[in-house]
Amino acid sequence: MNAEVSETSEVTRCGYVAIVGRPNVGKSTLLNHALGQKLSITSRRPQTTRHQVLGIKTENNVQTIFVDTPGMHKVEKKAINRYMNRAATSALTGIDAVIFVIDRLQWTEEDQLVLTKLSNVKCPIILALNKIDRVQDKGAMMPFLQELGTKGNFKAIVPLSALNGHNLKELETMVDDLMPEGVHFFPEDQVTDRSSRFMASELVREKIMRQLGDELPYEMTVEIEEFKQEVRPKGKGPLLTISALILVERTSQKAIVIGDKGARLRQIGQEARLDMEKMFDSKIMLNLWVKVKGGWSDDDRALKSLGYDFD
């Protein structure tokens, strides 16, 4: 009887996968496309990701829990940089596999730094060469892959394009095969461990980073002050009121975020609201304010109060 049950019941697998790499190599894009939906914010600016974000993918009998991390970088000018490096490094504890992402045919000092951080990791490491769709000299690919093979004991080296989906399925299959047998840790329909308030703040921050480009003050963060669901008359659907405070460190930065006669702030709000309506499946009333809070990015206590906290 027991033998018959074990033969017919499906074995489930579940595990954690850390996505690591230096800033701006496409870690968050890789996570979003693996999940089939937007979860981590992205921009062309380095260090867009500041927190660990879990992305949970449950497909058939396998639950893969991806841990998106901030880019590991050498220079720690301020407390927020130290926080991001700690967030990235701490993701290497208690995991079952690592996806180490690099940018095309490049190997930098910061890539070497990441590899050094991985030296004590006991689980399999897959090296992913992202953005290969941008490689002009295809003949340089094979020699570079051979060179990478000498740098570490990688389970596999996978050239891919996270944005275009090239070789992404092959990478996911490799990762699924590395997941240990075990019960699923999260419900089948859950896609992240982060709260809706957190996701709302990240969407606003993404739009600011994309709007400001090279003008972006790095000393900028977003705090959600109000997140209230309102039940409206039948036929109108739900209304979610979100009030977000954009914090900068200097008055000149406040002027940059607001723009001429408030035009930039309105554009940021419009783009964030559209993404929020998709994410929360609700009509959104979004209110944005900009406030100067000097020195917050280099103040451990201020960072903790703004949600930059491992606890």
- pLDDT, block means (10 residues), the chain with 311 residues: 48 96 91 90 77 91 93 76 82 93 93 92 96 90 93 94 92 96 95 93 93 74 94 80 95 93 96 95 95 89 79 50
- Which domain-ending residue is among 178, 207, 230? 178
Provide the domain limits for residue 58.
Answer: 2-178
pLDDT of residue 5: 40
> 295: which residues sit within 8 A by CB, 6+ positions away?
249, 302
Could you tell me if 140 and 35 lie in one domain? yes
pLDDT of residue 9: 62
pLDDT of residue 27: 92
- Structure tokens, 40: 């981590």
pLDDT of residue 217: 58
Could you tell me if 112 and 83 lie in one domain? yes
pLDDT of residue 282: 92
| Among 114, 38, 130, 10, residue whose Cα is nearest residue 69 | 114
Could you tell me if 147 and 255 lie in one domain? no
187 within domain boundaries: no
Could you tell me if 211 and 170 lie in one domain? no
pLDDT of residue 231: 78
d(CA 216, CA 20): 24
Q: Tell me the HSE value of 299 on the side-chain side, using a 13 A CA sphere.
A: 10
Could you tell me if 274 and 148 lie in one domain? no
Number of domains in the chain: 2
- Domain of 293, CATH number, reads 3.30.300.20
Could you tell me if 248 and 124 lie in one domain? no
- Which domain-ending residue is among 150, 178, 206? 178
d(CA 280, CA 302): 29
- Domain of 147, CATH number, reads 3.40.50.300
Could you tell me if 174 and 200 lie in one domain? no
Could you tell me if 166 and 209 lie in one domain? no
